[in-house]
Amino acid sequence: MAEGYETRGSLLRFDGGVSQARDLRIGSQIRRAAVSIASNIAEGHSRTSRQAYLNHLSIALGSQSEVETQIELASRLSMMPNEAAQEVLTLAGQVGRMLHALIASLERN
């Protein structure tokens, strides 16, 4: 799980692309969605039932998809440099794969 925190932290700390976004509103929305990923994982983990945890992980996965979509849009609309967008998309993809694996593991057990 430490790798997950590191990756989410990298996504949150990554300002190269988000702060370069011409439209600061989309940068703010990307940051909020990234914070939502970590917040929902933490909140779900503190719940007493596995189903509640899975629900929060699902919400975190939705926020991860939101980050990817907003980065794609910012890049396509030339609001964010392509190199910066690709770096964030790589990190967001790693987070998504970890969330999928965690959800699958919890659903199997």
26, 73 in Cβ contact below 8 A?
yes
DSSP codes of every residue in the chain = -HHHHHHHHHHHH--TTTTT-SSHHHHHHHHHHHHHHHHHHHHHHHSSSHHHHHHHHHHHHHHHHHHHHHHHHHHHTTSS-HHHHHHHHHHHHHHHHHHHHHHHHHHH-
pLDDT of 22 higher than 60:
no
Tens-place pLDDT, residues 63-102: 999 999 999 998 898 888 888 889 889 989 999 999 999 9
Q: Where are the domains of the chain?
A: 2-108
Q: Identify the CATH homologous superfamily for domain 2-108.
A: 23S rRNA-intervening sequence (1.20.1440.60)
Q: What is the mean pLDDT of residues 28-53?
A: 93
pLDDT of 47 higher than 70:
yes
pTM for this prediction = 0.80
